[in-house]
Structure 1
Amino acid sequence: MSSDNRSSEDGQSGEGVFPEPLPLETLFHKYGIERSHADNVARNALELFDILHSIHGLDHEIRKFVEIAALVHDTGVVTGFENHHKAGRDILRLHPPSELPERLWPVIAWTAFLHKKKIGKKKLRKLKGKEFEKMPEDLQDFTFRVASLVRLADALDYSRMESRLGKVTFGKRGVRFEIEGQGAAIDAERMAKKGDLWHLLYDTKLEFRPASKK
């Protein structure tokens, strides 16, 4: 990753760095974002947003933001896979999508950071020692809620086999998703793992299983 953003591994930004917003299409070309994966994750995120709306309660006007967050979640992958969540955060802090209002620029960067690794209570506590804590509490909460959807949406395309959401069943305390497609078993398992942040935020349990073959 270029050092022009002067941002360190622990999330502390360098002084004198001012964001330079870029259009989405410029971000795609500049950072070699895998367009097919980004589009699939955005599609998945919007479906999950709609299906789970009665639970997450985010305003409908936030739907477009969730789509953009999904489109740029892999911005840092050009630097290598292992730490691309950190690189993506730093890139998006320097070059947030110009389609977004300035107040939400930090949210898009931290959503990218939160999309990859396992998340538990300890990980959330560690964020308190980073720039993340400088955001207003409402934006911190908003970031977690958006990231919980993007994590699931990303997991649904983990196999890159065009998996899709199938039948959805609402129970008293949970929601069961059937996953369709050749990679359904792989992606259902991945969604179960990436549902960790969701389950820290909400009492409604999500379950994922491959759709039965007819």
Structure 2
Amino acid sequence: MIYLAEKLYGIIYMTSRQVNLAIINLHSLKVVESATSNFFDNRSYEYKHNIETITTSLNGFIHLLKDYGVKNYHFWANQQSLDAISARYLGEQIYIRTSLRVRWLNTSQLTYYKAAAVITHLDNFKKLSLASTFLLSLGSERVSLSHFNKQKFASTWNIDLGAVQIHEVSAALKPVTSNPVEVLDDYIGSKLEHLRHIFFGKRAPSSLIIQDATALNKRFIPQGKSYYALNSTEFDELYRKIISSSDQFLMDYFNVDENDVARIVPYFLLIHKIIKLINVKKIVVTNITVSDGLAIERADKIGISTSHLEEMIVTAAENIAGRYLTSKSHRENVSKIALHLFDQLKKIHHLGKRERLLLQVACIVADIGNYINQQGHYRHSAYILEANKLIGLSNEENQIIAEVSRYHSSESPESQQPHFQKLDPEVQMKVAKLAALLRLADALDDSREEKISKISVSLRNTEMIISAYSNQNLALEKWSFSNKADLFEEVFGIKPILKQRRQLK
């Protein structure tokens, strides 16, 4: 075989419509082989009603992976339509029938992996994103709109409008209205209302990348290519043609069946509104997928490549911190101190690169609860974060961030607390360790005046000496440190001691 098996990685990804397999060469990030299941029963896009189709396809994929000698493969699925308990039940049913463990992806993770894939694989992305560029990802349950500018991720928004929802609304409208397109247009417009104040008055031209538009991909993207470009005038001509056409014409024109045709007009209505909203001049349709993003992460994880795509997660955290008006200088100072502590204490905390990122994110967002009320702000921070999942983080990781924020101030994690009780033991330890580090860092900037220029750390048996370099009065910082150091000692069995070091002028 041309490709060495150890270079290959198998990605199985399931949506509410079908299951897909991609075998990818991690060195080139090129797809070697791909396969798809039949579409699920279009009368019900619920996983539980299609369990036989799912498991038959998965077992077939496992045989194909063995034929290619692929030993490294994982199975992911879109969790947008499932609550945590239902996902757990379904995952167990699949495991019993296939021996595959499913890794569920939430909306924020899907947005992250799709964006990562486009950033890496779209040929002209760097050039496009020099100016304002948006990525519109058409998900099964949600649509996401991400903004890039000056070749950097800027922000993302979720739109409560997905393929399944559109299918249900379209089917319901046809028998009861003489003009379903007009009603659909109003319905879609209502879902975009929360974006209008964001883009009101911003008329600088932008580009729009459209992802997961099956019909557009089939019609326009040439074989062997990953995208097709057109301008807004060309799209307008196509739009006027599509919204007045019959289903049969659309099925023939886009080469799709009845599973896809019901989505075409609603998605054109949505895209048309987005184009007007953000003043789009250039449109790029791409067939780059979630699986491409998952392959990039895997290549990063095993050291084949370095993408630095985690910067999107940090930017998303900065966005929410800015929205809730926290002090930028304070969160930067706390982050610097906390990450220094993390790096110097690796041999006692035994946490990895991912936990370091979670600590950085927690440093950024821990104080957002002050926007609600300064009293008990840490509790407010926690429930805000529980309701606003950060892009690129799993449900568990988002929960860790919320709990570390809850315990970064005066309240400590204890066994009798319901929030702490419900966490898995392994997660409890991560929360306790990260909260202990954050509390020390937060104490060292309690005055919000950046009095400490740098710190050094030394371990001496059951003591940790933190030397804080400053010529200013650190009375407040010392008092706060003494109040917040108990958690560190309780978790690690090491007593933190703060000493001030004067600096030579």
Normalising TM by the smaller chain, what interval?
0.7 to 0.9
Q: 1:74 to 1:139 in 2, by over 3 A?
A: same
**Structure 1 portions without partners, runs of 5+:** 1-15
Match of 1:9 in 2: none
Match of 2:359 in 1: 66
Q: How does 1:91-106 map to 2 (within 5 A)?
A: 91-106=384-399
Match of 1:207 in 2: 497
SS across alignment from 1:209:
strand
- Inter-partner Cα distance in structure 2 for 1:38 and 1:20: 27
**Structure 2 residue 381 is the aligned partner of structure 1 residue 80:** no
**Structure 2 residue 434 is the aligned partner of structure 1 residue 141:** no
Deviations 1:30-52 (A, max 9, x none): 21122111111111110110112
**Structure 2 residue 460 is the aligned partner of structure 1 residue 171:** yes
- Inter-partner Cα distance in structure 2 for 1:96 and 1:187: 32
- Inter-partner Cα distance in structure 1 for 2:502 and 2:455: 10
Aligned counterpart in structure 1 of residue 329 of structure 2, from 36, 43, 51 = 36
Match of 1:51 in 2: 344
- The normalised TM-score by structure 2 is 0.36
The one-letter code matched in structure 2 to 1:137 is P
- Inter-partner Cα distance in structure 2 for 1:60 and 1:84: 28
Relative to total residues, which structure has the larger strand share, 1 or 2? 2
Relative to total residues, which structure has the larger helix share, 1 or 2? 1
SS across alignment from 1:116:
coil
Larger Rg: 2
- Inter-partner Cα distance in structure 2 for 1:29 and 1:175: 34
SS across alignment from 2:499:
strand
Q: 1:206 to 1:157 in 2, by over 3 A?
A: same
How many residue pairs get aligned? The number is 192
**Structure 2 residue 480 is the aligned partner of structure 1 residue 186:** no
- Inter-partner Cα distance in structure 1 for 2:351 and 2:403: 18
Q: What is the aligned-residue identity percentage? A: 26
Between 32-41 and 53-62, the greater mean CA deviation after superposition? 53-62
The one-letter code matched in structure 2 to 1:211 is R
- Inter-partner Cα distance in structure 1 for 2:480 and 2:380: 23
- The normalised TM-score by structure 1 is 0.80
SS across alignment from 1:125:
coil
Between 92-101 and 159-168, the greater mean CA deviation after superposition? 159-168
Is the CA contact (8 Å cut-off) linking 2:324 and 2:368 kept in structure 1?
Answer: yes
RMSD: 2.2
- Inter-partner Cα distance in structure 2 for 1:96 and 1:139: 17
Match of 1:161 in 2: 449
- Inter-partner Cα distance in structure 2 for 1:56 and 1:176: 16
Q: 1:145 to 1:29 in 2, by over 3 A?
A: same
Is the CA contact (8 Å cut-off) linking 2:489 and 2:495 kept in structure 1?
Answer: yes
Q: 1:186 to 1:20 in 2, by over 3 A?
A: farther
Is the CA contact (8 Å cut-off) linking 2:469 and 2:503 kept in structure 1?
Answer: no
Aligned counterpart in structure 2 of residue 109 of structure 1, from 389, 397, 402 = 402
How big is the shift at 1:124? 0.7
How big is the shift at 1:213? 5.9
Match of 2:270 in 1: none
How big is the shift at 1:164? 3.8
Deviations 1:21-74 (A, max 9, x none): 572243123211221111111111101101122111212332111111111111
Is the CA contact (8 Å cut-off) linking 1:161 and 1:183 kept in structure 2?
Answer: no
- Inter-partner Cα distance in structure 2 for 1:100 and 1:211: 39
How big is the shift at 1:133? 2.1
Is the CA contact (8 Å cut-off) linking 1:189 and 1:208 kept in structure 2?
Answer: no
The one-letter code matched in structure 1 to 2:327 is E
The one-letter code matched in structure 1 to 2:360 is E
How big is the shift at 1:212? 4.1
The one-letter code matched in structure 2 to 1:88 is S
Bigger RCO (CA 8 Å, 6+ sep): 1
**Structure 2 portions without partners, runs of 5+:** 1-82, 84-105, 109-155, 157-315
Is the CA contact (8 Å cut-off) linking 1:179 and 1:209 kept in structure 2?
Answer: yes
- Inter-partner Cα distance in structure 2 for 1:49 and 1:100: 20
